[in-house]
């Protein structure tokens, strides 16, 4: 917990003074009490006495004062709150190796089904975009609130040769930041994302931020193999880190790999976990391994719970002040109930 006005904590020195004042009042009350010859007569006249109840309302009042004084220091704590205006880019590998059947019925179908279940479980206010990549990368669905459009885009995947993980990641960033003029010449032959009709596109100056600090968007990168072409994935991860975007990486397939055939050629595909872990670490995100279709569904379920909330520093002085006010009301209520007066 941090304090925006820590100097206000000096006011807590009033608490010992209030305790001392209360003890003095008790001593004065005893001094002016009527002296009787027999303790038995006192007990018979007063019964068992208020006992601990006499001190509870003042104790509650003291706690209320402490809370109010703490609230004046404007405490700030980190809380997990629902995300607002969030965009998630699904960057999915559609290379030929995704036809491998070590994940049933095959890697591509398992990835599509898990992604569609993930999309269905997200809050309706989250915008979702889809980027596919193999030898090149393409935006198959711009960020949208329409779940139907996203599902249709996932169903349209067509497998191709090669694996350009860096291309998929860079195009995902260009989709999130269309005004930055990210160079796409190595990916699509274009220099920047096209502007919408009638929209003036101005390149904004770029200033690096703290990795993982951008809470309005995230990228989920799913692949089953190693980079065979395109930009260096680690350089692309550096671009994401400089923009504060977290890249959650998901590796699908068996770690031993599998030999597959595609359009007259065959090759053994292996999962490059080291690179995927390096990407997620650089962007302050996490790497997940999915060796089966069920594992993949569980990964997406876990990602859903991570991405719909964000940790924010929130001032809680109002909550502490409200708690202090409730304690004051409770102390006054108990005093009236037990003694017929407000303390």
pLDDT digits (tens, 9 = 90+) for 248-306: 999 988 766 666 665 566 666 678 889 999 999 999 999 999 888 888 888 888 887 66
What is the tally of helices (H) and strands (E) in the chain? 10, 11
State mean pLDDT over 116-128: 89
Superfamily of domain 84-189+206-307: von Willebrand factor, type A domain (3.40.50.410)
Angle in degrees, CA 108, 230, 272, rounded to 5: 55
- List the domain boundaries for the chain: 2-78+314-339, 84-189+206-307
Q: How many CB atoms lie within 10 A of CB 304?
A: 18
Residue range 21-40, pLDDT digits in tens: 878 877 777 666 555 445 55
Q: What's the pLDDT band for 232 if we cut at 50, 70, 90?
A: very high
Q: What mean pLDDT is predicted for residues 83-93?
A: 84
Buried b (16+ CB within 10 A) or exposed e, 64-85: bbbbbbbbbbbbbeeeeeebee
Give pLDDT tens digits for 182-227: 888 766 544 445 555 555 555 567 788 999 988 889 999 999 878 8
Residues 21, 165: Cα–Cα separation, whole Å: 71
pLDDT of 190: 47
Q: Determine contact, residues 57/188, Cβ cutoff 8 Å.
A: no
Cα gap 36→275, rounded to integer Å: 88
Classify strands 217-223 and 87-93 as parallel, antiparallel or unpaired. parallel
250, 333 in Cβ contact below 8 A?
A: no
Mean pLDDT for the chain overall: 81
| Number of C-beta neighbours around residue 33 at 10 A | 9
More confident residue, 103 or 147: 147
Q: Tokens at residue 7, please?
A: 């100097």
pLDDT at position 177, please? 92
């Amino acid at each position: 917990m941090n304090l925006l006005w820590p100097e206000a904590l000096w006011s807590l020195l009033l608490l010992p003074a209030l305790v001392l004042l209360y003890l003095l009042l008790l001593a004065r009350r005893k001094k002016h009490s009527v002296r009787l010859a027999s303790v038995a007569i006192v007990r018979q006249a007063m019964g068992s006495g208020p006992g601990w109840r006499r001190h509870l309302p003042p104790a509650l009042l003291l706690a209320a004062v402490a809370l109010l004084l703490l609230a004046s220091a404007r405490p700030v704590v980190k809380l997990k709150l629902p995300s607002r205006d969030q965009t998630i880019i699904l960057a999915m590998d559609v290379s030929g190796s995704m036809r491998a059947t070590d994940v049933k019925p095959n890697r591509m179908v398992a990835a599509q089904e898990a992604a569609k279940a993930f999309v269905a479980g997200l809050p309706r206010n989250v915008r979702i975009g889809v980027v596919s990549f193999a030898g090149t990368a393409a935006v198959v669905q711009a960020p949208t609130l329409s779940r139907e459009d996203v599902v249709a885009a996932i169903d349209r995947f067509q497998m191709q040769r090669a694996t350009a993980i860096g291309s998929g990641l860079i195009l995902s960033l260009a989709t999130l930041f269309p005004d930055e003029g990210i160079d796409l010449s190595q990916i699509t032959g274009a220099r920047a994302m096209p502007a919408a009709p009638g929209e003036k596109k101005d390149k904004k100056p770029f200033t690096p931020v703290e990795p993982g600090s951008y809470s309005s968007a995230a990228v989920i990168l799913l692949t089953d193999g190693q980079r065979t072409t395109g930009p260096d994935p680690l350089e692309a991860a550096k671009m994401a880190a400089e923009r504060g975007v977290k890249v959650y990486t998901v590796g699908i397939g068996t770690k031993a790999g599998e030999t597959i055939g595609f359009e007259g050629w065959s090759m053994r595909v292996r999962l490059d976990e080291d690179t995927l872990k390096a990407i997620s670490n650089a962007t302050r995100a996490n790497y997940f391994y999915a060796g089966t279709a069920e594992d993949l569904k569980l990964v997406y379920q876990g990602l859903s719970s991570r991405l719909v909330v964000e940790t924010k520093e929130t001032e809680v002085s109002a909550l502490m002040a409200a708690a202090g006010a409730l304690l004051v009301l409770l102390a006054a209520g108990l005093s009236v109930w037990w003694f017929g007066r407000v303390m």
